[in-house]
Amino acid sequence: MIVYAFEPLGFEGELVTVEVDLRRGIPSVDLVGLPDGAVKEARERIRAAVRNSGFEFPLERLLISLAPAGVRKGGASFDLAMALAVLVASGQVPDVGSPVLALGELELSGRVRPVSGVLSAIAAGLRAGVPSFIVPRGNLAEARALAGDSAYAIDGLFDSVRLAAALRGLGSVEAFRPQADPDPRLRPSPIHDTIRSEASDEGSLDGGADMADIRGQAGLRRAMEVAAAGGHHMLLFGPPGVGKSMAARRLAGLLPDLDDDDAVVVTTLHSLAGTLSERSGLMRRPPFRAPHHGASAEGIVGGGRSRKPGEISLAHGGVLLLDEAAEFRSDVLQSLREPLEDGVVSIVRADRVVAYPSRFMLVLACNPCPCGNLGRRGAVCLCSAEEIRRYWKRLGGPLLDRIDLRVPVKPAGPSELASGPGEPSSSIKARVERARARQLNRYGSLPFRLNAGIPASAIETFCALGSEARVSFSDQAESAGFSSRASHSTLRVARTIADLDEASRIELKHVNEAIQLRRYGDGDVYWLIP
């Protein structure tokens, strides 16, 4: 019986074979294939767990070998597989007769603790044809999402005899695959998942976040609808307290549910990062992530010593908000360029390069100037033109150039505040879904699905303009000094606006609105980048 463990490597990873050899001799345990520091710990943990679960630890020369040896292994998720292999080799647990992938960290008591990365382990196991998966109970919902009925949950090592016997056909396996908890309230809602550690002056993480909470702000609301419909990146700028981050928090709520493929990828990333909660099956809602500007580059981009996906990958399929964007470290901001272009981030580690999917809608929110008062009625901005220029420059031209929609957010006026609730998220989402359906239909089997993803080479095909719109667009683009990237971005947005309008051709009004949404950045008072 082959016992597999799993070592995550970037988004995927490798199955690790756990072999145990027992020989007569002075009792000892040799463990090969693990880094030095971890060996001793693992050895003692397994020994204690085996004894405390009512088994005997073999009084023989024991060799536990993890293969392939070249793969650097870390973490405690190997415990269960190693203990199981020992128990099978010493005849205390029946041989199942077919390979088993076992994941779990052992407590000294013999109970198993949930581990991260279960979904990618299961995916690797399924590719290799492994028929049975043993996971801690806390990981069962996640494991079942891919493995279905071939995932079995245990509470501790003491369950392994009964489970192995059941897998051989001696008894019922049903006890090891309890149905998922039917209470929907127990399902976490990933939309509101966040690592923000500082309270914001804007918005809250309240579960009922809805666009109805935003009063007035017609321009902002429209830009959010366009962004959600076509998957475009946004910049929101304005004085503190006008609702920029409150709005950004509601953007993910306008996006349709993830399809099956995306749901697996998104859940796998969260599983690798260890951010999935128990009972969470596949994540169906697009995630929302809002890392604090003080977060490390490692935390945001991923990799490093944690060897985990970063915030930009946890936002895959959803929205990444960088609030107070100009305060982020410039290496972090610049590292967004690769994911914005390619939808993946590559992380160089000592031994290899790993890649994590990271295709997200980026929302940058920032104040218009260092003091925040620029453009605020009744307040005085004390910043010099040079300070404002330097402030904006921190974001970096190459990053800003990739932002399709630049939206000034002004404080709502008294009449706006007195107006009733805004249009709720549900009805905006319905229009977004219709516009997205048009895109899916148009792009069919092409490697992109949304207007934001139309490659430069396909702009002419999919963003063709009528003659009136064409003349007007080239005039305006020339006088605004649009780069070719800016022109393409504007045409993609125009395509989205036409889709929201259910128009098959991009007309003059669609182009004009797209130019309005792109306008800031070209000589505006807020935007003094040379």
Rounded distance between C-alpha atoms, residue 267 and residue 390, angstroms: 40
The least distance separating Zn ion from the CB of residue 481, rounded to whole angstroms, comes to 26
Strands 234-237 and 361-366 turn out to be parallel
CB 263 within 8 A of CB 435: no
Q: Per-residue b/e over 115-143, b at no fewer than 16 CB within 10 Å?
A: bbbbbbbbbbbbeeebebbbbbbbbbbbb
Q: Examine residue 528 and tell whether it contacts Zn ion (CB under 5 A).
A: no
> Omega into 68 within 30° of 0, i.e. cis?
yes
Q: Which range, of 150-158, 213-221, 271-279, 379-387, touches Zn ion by CB under 5 A?
A: 379-387
DSSP secondary structure code for residue 111 in this structure: B
The least distance separating Zn ion from the CB of residue 311, rounded to whole angstroms, comes to 29
DSSP secondary structure code for residue 178 in this structure: P
Q: Which range, of 377-385, 424-432, 459-467, 482-490, touches Zn ion by CB under 5 A?
A: 377-385
Query: With respect to Zn ion, which residue has the nearer C-beta, 173 or 381?
Result: 381
Query: With respect to Zn ion, which residue has the nearer C-beta, 89 or 383?
Result: 383
Q: Which range, of 86-94, 317-325, 367-375, 392-400, touches Zn ion by CB under 5 A?
A: 367-375
Rounded (10°) CA dihedral 241, 246, 248, 252: 180
Phi, psi of 229 (to 5 degrees): -70, -40
Among 2, 180, 381, 503, binds Zn ion (CB under 5 A): 381
Q: Examine residue 326 and tell whether it contacts Zn ion (CB under 5 A).
A: no
Query: With respect to Zn ion, which residue has the nearer C-beta, 199 or 380?
Result: 380
Q: Which residues contact 68 (CB under 8 A, 6 or more apart)?
A: 14, 16
Q: Examine residue 121 and tell whether it contacts Zn ion (CB under 5 A).
A: no
CB 152 within 8 A of CB 42: no
Query: With respect to Zn ion, which residue has the nearer C-beta, 206 or 524?
Result: 524
Among 124, 383, 403, 409, binds Zn ion (CB under 5 A): 383
Q: What does the DSSP assignment read for 205-243?
A: --TT--GGG--S-HHHHHHHHHHHHHT--EEEE-STTSS
Among 214, 326, 374, 450, binds Zn ion (CB under 5 A): 374
Q: How many residues bind Zn ion (CB under 5 A)?
A: 6
Q: Examine residue 366 and tell whether it contacts Zn ion (CB under 5 A).
A: no
Q: Examine residue 118 and tell whether it contacts Zn ion (CB under 5 A).
A: no
CB 437 within 8 A of CB 450: no
Query: With respect to Zn ion, which residue has the nearer C-beta, 156 or 375?
Result: 375
The least distance separating Zn ion from the CB of residue 379, rounded to whole angstroms, comes to 9
Q: Which range, of 12-20, 292-300, 371-379, 511-519, touches Zn ion by CB under 5 A?
A: 371-379
Rounded distance between C-alpha atoms, residue 505 and residue 499, angstroms: 9
The least distance separating Zn ion from the CB of residue 246, rounded to whole angstroms, comes to 22
Q: Examine residue 371 and tell whether it contacts Zn ion (CB under 5 A).
A: yes
DSSP secondary structure code for residue 453 in this structure: G
Query: With respect to Zn ion, which residue has the nearer C-beta, 309 or 368?
Result: 368
The least distance separating Zn ion from the CB of residue 384, rounded to whole angstroms, comes to 9
Q: Which range, of 42-50, 137-145, 268-276, 362-370, touches Zn ion by CB under 5 A?
A: 362-370
Angle made by CA atoms 432, 434, 440, in degrees to the nearest 5: 100
Q: Examine residue 102 and tell whether it contacts Zn ion (CB under 5 A).
A: no
Footprint of Zn ion (CB under 5 A): 369, 371, 373-374, 381, 383
